[in-house]
Structure 1
Amino acid sequence: MKQVVQNYKSGELALLDVPAPECKPGGVLVRSDYSLISTGTELMKVSEAGMSMLGKARSRPDQVAKVLQSVASNGVPATYRKVMGKLDSYTPLGYSLSGVVERVGAGIDDVAVGDVVACAGNEHALHAELNWVPKNLCTRVPDGLAPRHAAFGTVGSIALQGVRRGESQLGDVALVIGLGLIGQLVVQLLAASGVSVVGVDPDPVRCELAERLGAAACGDPESAAVESCVAELTGGHGVDQVYLAAGGGSNQPVELAARLSRDRGRVVDIGKCRLDLPWNAYYGKELDVRFSRSYGPGRYDPEYELEGRDYPIGYVRWTERRNLACFLDLVARGRVDVEPLVSHVADFDDAVETYRSLKDGDLKAVAVLFRYAAPAGETAGAAAPAVAVPPVRRGGAASVPARPGTGRSAAAPVRLAFVGAGNYATSMLLPHLARREGVELSTVVTTTALSAVNAKRKFGFAEATTDLDAVLGDPSVDAVFVVTRHSSHAELTRRALLAGKTVFVEKPLALTEDELAGVVSAVEESGNDRLQVGFNRRFAPLLREARKRFGVRTGPASLRYLVNAGRLEHGSWYLRQDTEGSRFAGEGGHFIDTASWLLGADPVSVYAVAASGDEGGGDLQIVLRYPGGSTATLSYVTNGSPAFPKETLDLIADGKVLRLDDFVRASVHGRRRWSSPRLSRVRDKGQRAQLDAFLRAVRTGGPMPVPLESLVATTAATLAVRTGLAGGAPVTLERTR
């Protein structure tokens, strides 16, 4: 089998072929699915291995003391040989993983062969294809929890034990210093416990992530905003607990902890940071300094860890193993979300290069996972299907305007150009724009002269042309609408972005992963991220009112969306799959975007089944999985009755149900019931409200109505349906960095 090792003397990292471990009594043999790189603990070890001998000595004064004691007892030559022998050996890396039990040792009766388990321990849960793990260092993974999320079990237990040591209570205010992997988990655990959390980290990206995951506010340790936020939340008294989750040699964390703690507050050290306590500050407030020892009671006790002797629950409520099981349960129930922490997933064969990229700073990450050959639930010997969600980077060339719309006069009319003037443009968009105050229809571009003339006459365009380059080069045009056939959307959008235009493109944004990557590359190249895709349903007034009546969601949700699409007429260009993509590829983004908007997140995986095996003409059943345990089931059917409503939707969470009946009626059932009056006029699916929001963004230069990252994620999820149908397995949406 293969295992990641390091030579502490030379710093060499290697992926070695080593003998597989035996299955001994008192434990289980586990084949790894995913293992987690601790970007704090493990990278510190990797960095230390690359130091000079003097540097190693300075970083580990405890080991130096042992060496000096050995010199006194055994002499210099013997001690030298002993130390060099130990340094010049391969040592393992890793301590947190998930996998499948292959064999069960004697004395094990609560785990069976085939069970998915989470494992802990820096001698047992290693970055290796096979590990023997003692009973008290592994636990079964709850049903439905993804193996990649279960791999966080050990680091989650570390964070959980730290929170337990702080003895937080409902309504407390806590400060978390250091928003790396452990800090992010501490933030979520505290927030789930009803504690208001303020985070501190010099990295603004990590601060933003912590705020998304539940922190009330985050900032740089030097920022006055952190102190003012603490003062506001605590009435000037200071925080109840401080959790030190930072590393490094600076004494700033413990000094900041003293300054922002209340009288007799608690300071809990979870990480490995410098602890030169300023005596006057800590004495003056009589601060309670506590240490959190790794995963919990049982750690470093060989009778517990190796011999399997549990502590009675009446005396020790939370042991290592019980902490591990508790954290997995929190993730499975959506109380803790680890998916946003996954910065990168690497194949195990690329382990050495991944460590080097992390050490050199080429890979910026909170958490990195190694993916082994065949994770649970996936076909052995086959790579798990995945669709890339390309990262949105906003670079920018100096020759392209930095932000379309920022230099225009607020009083000037918004000048629009249309590329395409087909049925949808002339029936659903242009009627809302023609002769509208503050809007000027500048130019319409079509491939045939007559259609351009018809659009000009009917809607009042100033010009009609077949020359797209002339429109893209016209500095007076504020925004370009791309309303052509599907196959041209991505390329036209890319060209308009590179020309510095704000762009409204009808769905779909792209028909292939390469096309999607090309659009995102145009954003990076030009610095122009002013893009909107015609996902109008999230703007529908009836649905927005129902969402408002439903209220804030706290737990995981189940969403059911039935689309009674009906059959297409013979000869419809929607059936030209070879050039225009499938029917679902063309309009499926509408429904995925609506689900994502209602659930407040982007999907992380897609599973699709076609009743007829034909994505283009058959009925589709699609399951979307979201962070936090929420799911959306989309039934896209073509053989239903035309008398039945086209779209019906149910959102179920927190003891409440939201129902939408084809944009005609909506209701919310919960503690209070609300039902809208039945609309007697034409269904409003949000086109006008979407155009209002788009024009407002163009006119003011403000944010676009939908974040670009969400548009990209929805498009990738739509493309994943085709990938899933071809592979017959769930498709992971991989967010690269």
Structure 2
Amino acid sequence: MPYNLCARVPDNVSDEQAAFTVLASIGLQGIRLLEPTLGERFIVYGLGLIGQLCVQMLRANGCEVLGIDINPDRLALAERFGARVINPGAGADPVKAAMAWTGGRGVDGVLITASAKTDEIVHCSAQMCRKRGRIVLVGVVGLNLRRSDFYEKELRFQVSCSYGPGRYDEKYEQGGHDYPLAYVRWTEQRNFEAVLDMLATGRLNVDPLITHRYPLEKAVEAYDIVAKDPKALGVILQYPVEARPERRVIVREQPAVAPAGRAVVGVIGAGNFSKMTLVPALARTGADLRYVCDLNGAAAAHLARKYGVARAVTDYKEVLDDPAVNAVFIAVGHNLHARFACEALEAGKHVYVEKPMALCVEEIQRIVEVIETIDHRPETIDQGQKTIDCGEETMDHGPKTIDHGQKTIDHRQETMEERGGAGDRRQEARGGSQVSGLQSQVSGLRSLFMVGFNRRFSPHTVRILELLEGRSEPLAMTMTVNAGFVPPDHWVHDPVRGGGRIIGEACHFIDLMVCLTCSLVKTVAAVMMDRGTPTPDDKMSILLGFEDGSVRSARSIILQMEQGPTRRKPWRFSRKAELYDSRISGGRSGSDSKGSVDSARGDRTKGTQRVLRRLYVGSRTAGRR
């Protein structure tokens, strides 16, 4: 649980009473926006659970309260807490009652804690207010506001945001960055503490609000009561005294030993990529999907049930400690990629890690060290390195490119004539010897390591590689990437968690150019957009020069926020053909010139399915697995 979302429960506050803390904080934040002062008169419009709590907190603040509701039981309860009440459902006129209560001046403010579709609640609230009164919305009501209501009295209207300052701020809630008390007196955590203090001193009494208690196993009935019974108010779910968290859900039973020749897979991370792309693609490979793991147990269980994964767990160590699992797929936050990859490799698993592989050079070096310690054979490394020549057959290009500075530079400096031979090998692989060749390459490896650079496996890339066979001149490539706007507060922009979009997303396209040129990047120059634009770090032009003189022209990668085609890649090369793909994942486009690629033949997974197919074959045949 994040630090800023915790508050100590006083010794004299029971667990049942403490359970009202969050709900009361929602009401308290609305009251703070009202800015009540001693002796002022306020209306609480809607006397549900939050409304009842607000009545008590306003009374504790020295204010007079008029409560409005159509439920007689809730009106009676509010009277017990010191409020005057009226029932519009019984024919009472709220505006007349408010004017009579205030001697014709109007109330100082209205706190709306009702849930209704009508706009009349806000209109009525405006009519009940004095000039320059305040209206704060905590509930959910219709908001077709009438200008005259607010113009003539210069009323102030505000919508309250949940528990208070810090809500929906990821740096506050998840990162633990508190706001300075001198400048932000009441944050959501400090509102929690204030509510608990009121409970401890008796100024807030929640016991009369409890109408039902249900054991946890009858939670469905409890929610049904809340939705359908007008007498229900505070419904308590009671957990067993000796309750232990369930760390796994078994969806289907599995044998202790997997069938021979079948990959046994564990997926760590049940976020959007796993849900929409990774697990659906894995389900089509024929692998034994043994685990899906996520801290969000409900998300893991849902994904497991949907795709027939045997177990959903919340502790990734279960995946790594299971000797039956021989392949682990890592799709967690960017800052955890390197750590989990190293742990999985050390556990003797084949590893697929989503891009980026790491966020810094030190993490990459750590992965290299781990790979070296699990005893890859030198001759096998050489074979694996040379598979970067073929976007179609590369199953293990991920681990081979991470240490190219030490081991692959000689291979990258081969001549154009030698590269023609590599093209022959690509053609041979596409002719039917792909699987057998792959098996011979990986048979000596104890663990395979792969980064999720799926673009090189896309049908478009395969076709481009075919068209580039036998080329004798450098490539001149221009790439424009319009990946869509991501809000500045999104986690991907956090340098610690996400690393930014250049590291987290542009790496895809740099790798694609490496694949197409069969050469590594030698020089880099980049220009970033002006600081006046939102998130300038992800908007830049990058000029790449490649080793051995194979590429000399400008290549640019621009991550923009403008609308338009998601990705546009004109590829120009010596045959005077231009290849144009407006969207890798599908949609028909293409030039009429010779050598065009029709994106209607595209892979909806952008190559992911082919990546997994090759890793699946490798994990069945590599080393002791």
TM range (shorter): 0.3 to 0.5
Larger radius of gyration: 2
TM-score, scaled to structure 1: 0.37
Question: More strand by proportion, 1 or 2?
Answer: 1
Structure with the greater relative contact order (CA < 8 A, sep ≥ 6): 1 or 2?
1
Question: More helix by proportion, 1 or 2?
Answer: 2
